[in-house]
Amino acid sequence: MTDRDFNHPIRLFRFVQPLLRPLSGADFVVLALMGVGLWAGVRLGQAVPEILQANEISLAPGVLPYYAVLSCGRMLAAYLLSLGFSLVYGTLAAKHRLAEKILLPLLDVLQSVPILSFLPVALLSFSAFLPLPVAVELAAIFLIFTSQAWNLTFAWYQSLRTLPRDLEEASTVFRFPAWLRFKSLELPFAAISLIWNSMMSWAGGWFFLMAAEMFSAGQRDFRLPGLGSYLQEAANQGSIPSLVWGLATMVGIIVLLDQLVWRPLLAWSEKFKLQLVESEYPLTSWFYDVLRGSFLVRALWQKTLLPVFAWLDQRLLTWFGPPGVRPAPETGRSWWRYLAAVVGVLLLGVGLWEVGRFLGRIPPGQWLALLEGLGATLVRVVAALVLAMAWTVPLGVLIGTNPRLAAVLQPLVQVVASIPATALFPVVLLFFLELPGGLNVAAIFLMLLGTQWYLLFNIIAGASAIPRDLHYTSILLRQSRWDRWRTLILPAIFPYVITGGITAGGGAWNASIVGEYVHFGGQSLTTTGIGAIIAQATAEGDYPLLLAATLVMILAVVSLNRLLWRRLYRLAEERYRLE
């Protein structure tokens, strides 16, 4: 066609019509979303020079879009790091007995380390070889990572340990390479649990965002622009309107993520359920339907992404070949292993000696205060777990086994779980201070808010993974409601309850830091507890006391995991697999 042909409207329409014919309404929705996204990016880019202020957090509502983008970017980076860490760490712990004996206790330790106790190590490590602004940014991402990674790791480990034996045997008989086994068996089986725990990880990230973006270390005050620092600055100044603006922005982001990310993923994960009968009311998502019906998305997948994934798939199959093709390990003397072991033991001895000298600065009276604080916090943690278990089990089963109810309650639960209780706590505290018990009861309430969602999301994942044919079988057998709970529902969700309980316990211990030591309106309120000691030691830069309190909390959490949760985990692996 010539330029003159394009000037004629009818001829131009005839030329463009074949290009538009494959496009559907879904394509126009995708194009509209892309256009809105590009427009928002340009507008934010234009606004950056005007609202960016070094080391100052503005409470003007106009900065919230920019702050929201920064916070979401940090949380996305932390989540990708958490997911990669979980897949590698959980696989090693689940498939190698020797590694399991080391990695699981280490995971208990890492989970029990409070988020603020990671702060000095992260800052010192990153600032040793990076400029301070970059080091502080990476430290914030690392702190968010510590609030997202552990429940994902436990969920992946639990899925690997409870794989149906018949599917494991089939993959062994057909000699699946490690990569093929991962993508066709292990990842699909764990998909539902990973998606629900991913939502929980983001909720945990929102919960500790305030502590990650605005913190003090000794005499130095670090502030990163973001939603968390905005909410904390609003709380410090006692500005209720700013708190409302910040929470409204956060709720808007949570709703968008639910509609554009989590609900499409849940609808997609329906195909991974181990069932012979299709659900009457499967989970649906309008955005997932839009993506499936879009010609543009389909063309992008087939022409661009699919060839890339096929090449990567082939490379991974080559690297992780079928069993038996790798060369046998050398049988000669492994003298270098003994040398490495000796060097490791020596370094460990030197490190323990230095730790002992560091802790020697603490007077005996402070050790007694640490034990007293540990006992007080333990009582609050147990109370929070009991209260959380009492309501999350029935509600989680109800949501997970009733798709129509889940379509209504799941977005609501996602929004409520993602609203950081740390942002609301200073306001709620004004109410609790008028009640008997004051800050003690308020601390249990905050622990409950930081604990219950780990349990609820795991229980929903476990209940939704129960095959529909087993539900129909229990109906055909005319089982009573109690018999159905006793023989089907409770055994099926038991591994998920244990996973949720372990991570919920870690969340409760971490929440004690912000629940037992509160700064609001220029005042500091504290109560007896190990969390209050850690928060005060961090703010004052008392690193010997911080180390001692952290070690005491670690020993308590690891002991509980060894004596209670790990035994229940073994019971779940041996008796409650979904066969």
Question: Residue 302 — very low, low, confident or very high, per pLDDT cuts 50/70/90?
Answer: confident
Res 55 pLDDT > 50: yes
Res 113 pLDDT > 90: no
Cα separation, 467 vs 492, in Å, equals: 10
Question: Residue 50 — very low, low, confident or very high, per pLDDT cuts 50/70/90?
Answer: very low
Average pLDDT rounded to a whole number, residues 326-354: 64
User: Between 381 and 402, where is the model more confident?
Assistant: 381
490 burial (CB, 10 Å; 0-12 / 13-18 / 19+) is: middle
| 163-196 pLDDT per residue, tens | 888 888 888 888 888 888 888 888 888 888 899 8
pLDDT at position 218 is 54
Which of 83-92, 135-144, 518-527 is modeled with the greatest confidence?
83-92
Average pLDDT rounded to a whole number, residues 221-248: 83
Q: Report long-range pairs for 82-85 (Cβ below 8 Å, ≥24 apart).
A: 82/145, 82/148, 82/149, 82/152, 82/201, 83/152, 83/198, 85/145, 85/149, 85/153
Q: How many CA atoms lie within 13 A of 152 on its CB side?
A: 29
User: Between 37 and 102, where is the model more confident?
Assistant: 102
The pTM for the full model equals 0.73
Res 19 pLDDT > 50: no
* Tokens, residue 20: 């538009």
Question: Residue 159 — very low, low, confident or very high, per pLDDT cuts 50/70/90?
Answer: confident
User: Between 429 and 334, where is the model more confident?
Assistant: 429
Res 52 pLDDT > 50: no
Pick from 274, 268, 231, 225: which is nearest to 249 by CA?
231
What 3-state DSSP class applies to 34? helix
Average pLDDT rounded to a whole number, residues 502-528: 76
Res 15 pLDDT > 50: no
Domains annotated for the chain, with CATH where assigned, are 22-47+293-323 (no CATH), 52-292+361-575 (1.10.3720.10)
SS (H, E, C) 49-93: HHHCCCCCCCCCHHHHHHHHHHHHHHHHHHHHHHHHHHHHHHHHH
Cβ contacts of residue 294 below 8 Å, gap of 6+? 24, 26, 27, 29, 30
Output phi, psi for 433, to 5 deg: -65, -20
User: Between 147 and 430, where is the model more confident?
Assistant: 147
What 3-state DSSP class applies to 273? coil
Cα separation, 115 vs 117, in Å, equals: 5
Q: What is the mean pLDDT of the chain?
A: 77
Res 285 pLDDT > 50: yes
pLDDT at position 6 is 44
Res 76 pLDDT > 80: yes
E strands present in 288-351 = none
Rounded to 5°, the CA angle 377-214-372 comes to 15
* Tokens, residue 396: 């989680």
pLDDT at position 465 is 79
Pick from 186, 196, 346: which is nearest to 258 by CA?
196
Residue type, 274: L
Which of 35-49, 313-327, 444-458 is modeled with the greatest confidence?
444-458
Length of the chain: 579
Res 491 pLDDT > 70: yes
Beta strands 214-217 and 517-520, pairing class: unpaired
pLDDT at position 555 is 81
Res 323 pLDDT > 70: no
What 3-state DSSP class applies to 222? strand
User: Between 489 and 451, where is the model more confident?
Assistant: 489
pLDDT at position 45 is 45
Taking a C-beta distance cutoff of 8 angstroms, is the pair 67, 230 a contact?
yes
Cα separation, 281 vs 517, in Å, equals: 46
